Amino acid sequence: MQRRNFLAASAGALVAPRAIQAANGSVTVLLNEQIGTISPLVHGHFVEHLGGVVYDGIWVGEGSKIPNIAGIRKSLVDALRKIQAPLFRWPGGCFADSYDWRDGIGPREKRPKRVNFWERSGALAKMEGGKAKYDPNEFGTNEFMRFCQEAGGKPYIAANLRSGTARDFNDWVDYCNAPSGATTLGTQRGTAPFNVEFWGIGNESWGCGGDFTPEEYSVEFRRFTSWVPRFNVPLKFIPAGPNGPDLNWSRGFFQALVRKSPGLLNRVWGWALHYYCGTAGGPVEFSNDEYYELLTRAVRMEDLITSHWTVMGEYDREHRVKFAIDEWGAWHRAGSEVAPHHLFGQIGTMRDALIAALTLDIFHRHADKVAMANVAQLINCIHSLFIAHEDKFLVTPNYHVFDMYKDHHNGKAVRSVFAAPRRGKLGVFDGSVSVQGNKLVLTCAHTELSGPLPVEITLTGGTARSASALVLAADSPKAHNTFDRPENVKPRALKVEVSGDKLRLEMPPASVARVSVELG
């Protein structure tokens, strides 16, 4: 509620002017000015037991006619491998703070059915039953780990701080990481250790995760992270960070932690800022003004990163703690979901793809600050890369952005100056650049609807030997994929001219591009 009120209140102030002069865009790439390494983890994902994310989305069951790998939807695994998905956060979200991990282990037929955290939300409130309302626990820790292994990403587990105990948390670490045969729980696991490094300590502890004050939460974080069994796994703890612009949460948490002992900063690996830019209009139907309004709200992410970073630096002068922005995305209102139980399910349009591109480019430009980020949520939910129902499956335009942007993984982000007019706080043209050896990757978004944008790229400190480009564009920002037209929106090749230190291309209206350059 707090977040919704904030978004509604700020919406009016963000409506942008109507007309922007057609102009050229230019980028100057400063090849010798490195920002930091782009961790693949900033392209991470989020999986919650919510609506159709796990049941129907990921888990179809071993006996299903839908092609599956040990019960996991195969088409999803294949598509995730293609984009080199690096990381999956699970089991929530708000659900995490009501989850008892013991419910999801052992023989599946013996696992208890539990009421899901979200049972009273949206259409679920009126439903009699179903797995979104009463969780059968068919998908538990071992199934999640199998999913990560098949899809090729690392696991990131959110522990239950609101209704669980520090003991439960320690036991879950033991179950996941103890060497086989070393402990009773490690033996119960029945497989090789999972070696889970990333552990979230509660979720949104200012809200659904317990309604704590930052000072109270700081105490809980200390208690939960004291003397956790290590089993030689480098555990990385991620405390629940702020709700969007709430600087008091960042200040209160770090102040209380450092007041107890500055050395406690070593316990914090990432600071879990959450930011949903909300919606404007409907998921698929919106006006041009609503299109610009939502993009403008999405790029507030950059201000959130810099403002919280400043506060964090007051207590962590060496900036040991980076961001783990483990929930972000555009959260539209209900109405476009493909099945009633897909709570928060929404069709992803080209507008959402632009939001994904603008956001990932912000993370790359702040590669020195952002160590991890997880788009919410993977499938059948908010800002998803996939929609699936029973045997039907599609990739959304967002998916293509993650696919095009994967070449940044492990690249050195370099400074770049994107020059073009602005529509209020929204750049008409913005992006990021990274370099690995003699390969340069530039990704960018052109946000104007009115016409194409000729772009000139100038390399400072190097020349281009050759280049190729891909573009994601459609005839409307509302364009999206459907089960009947799954390839309605997909990338195509874009012409790029190369001459010494200059490259030229033209971006269609409302488009996302990737330029791959071989440096001379």
Give catalytic status of residue 204 as yes or no.
yes
Among 178, 272, 280, 382, binds ligand AHR (CB under 6 A): 382
Residue with smaller CB distance to ligand AHR, 90 or 393? 90
Q: What is the DSSP string of 403-426?
A: HHHGGGTTPEEEEEEEE--EETTE
**By the rule CB under 6 A, 277 interacts with ligand AHR:** no
Residue with smaller CB distance to ligand AHR, 83 or 376? 376
Bridging pattern class, strands 502-507 and 453-460:
antiparallel
**By the rule CB under 6 A, 375 interacts with ligand AHR:** no
Window of 80-88, 99-107, 334-342, 374-382 that interacts with ligand AHR by CB under 6 A: 374-382
How far is Cα 517 from Cα 458, in angstroms, rounded to an integer?
A: 12
**By the rule CB under 6 A, 58 interacts with ligand AHR:** no
* 68: three-class secondary structure by DSSP: strand
**By the rule CB under 6 A, 376 interacts with ligand AHR:** yes
Using alpha carbons, list the distances in angstroms from residue 434 to 151, 250, 266, 410: 25, 30, 29, 9
* Nearest C-alpha neighbor of 300 from the set 320, 325, 321: 325
Residue with smaller CB distance to ligand AHR, 89 or 478? 89
**By the rule CB under 6 A, 374 interacts with ligand AHR:** no
Residues 6+ apart with CB under 8 A from 184: none
Closest CB 93 distance from ligand AHR, rounded Å: 3
The one catalytic residue among 204, 220, 302, 448 = 204
The one catalytic residue among 48, 290, 327, 506 = 327
User: Under rule CB under 6 A, which residues in 199-218 are in contact with ligand AHR?
Assistant: 203-204
Among 20, 87, 94, 505, binds ligand AHR (CB under 6 A): 94
**By the rule CB under 6 A, 48 interacts with ligand AHR:** yes
Q: Look up residue 235 and give its two tokens.
A: 């555990």
Window of 86-94, 134-142, 484-492, 511-519 that interacts with ligand AHR by CB under 6 A: 86-94
The number of residues that bind ligand AHR (CB under 6 A) is 10
Residue with smaller CB distance to ligand AHR, 381 or 420? 381
Residue with smaller CB distance to ligand AHR, 367 or 372? 372
Window of 90-98, 129-137, 265-273, 421-429 that interacts with ligand AHR by CB under 6 A: 90-98
Bridging pattern class, strands 492-494 and 464-472:
antiparallel
Residue with smaller CB distance to ligand AHR, 290 or 327? 327
How far is Cα 289 from Cα 291, in angstroms, rounded to an integer?
A: 5
* Nearest C-alpha neighbor of 53 from the set 97, 103, 89, 101: 89
Q: Look up residue 394 and give its two tokens.
A: 């599609």
With vertex at residue 297, the alpha carbon angle to CA 294 and CA 298, rounded to the nearest 5 degrees, is: 85
- 271 forms beta bridges with 323
Bridging pattern class, strands 429-436 and 439-446:
antiparallel
**By the rule CB under 6 A, 327 interacts with ligand AHR:** yes
The residues annotated with a catalytic role in the active site are: 204, 327
The residue ranges that bind ligand AHR (CB under 6 A) are 48, 92-94, 203-204, 327, 376-377, 382
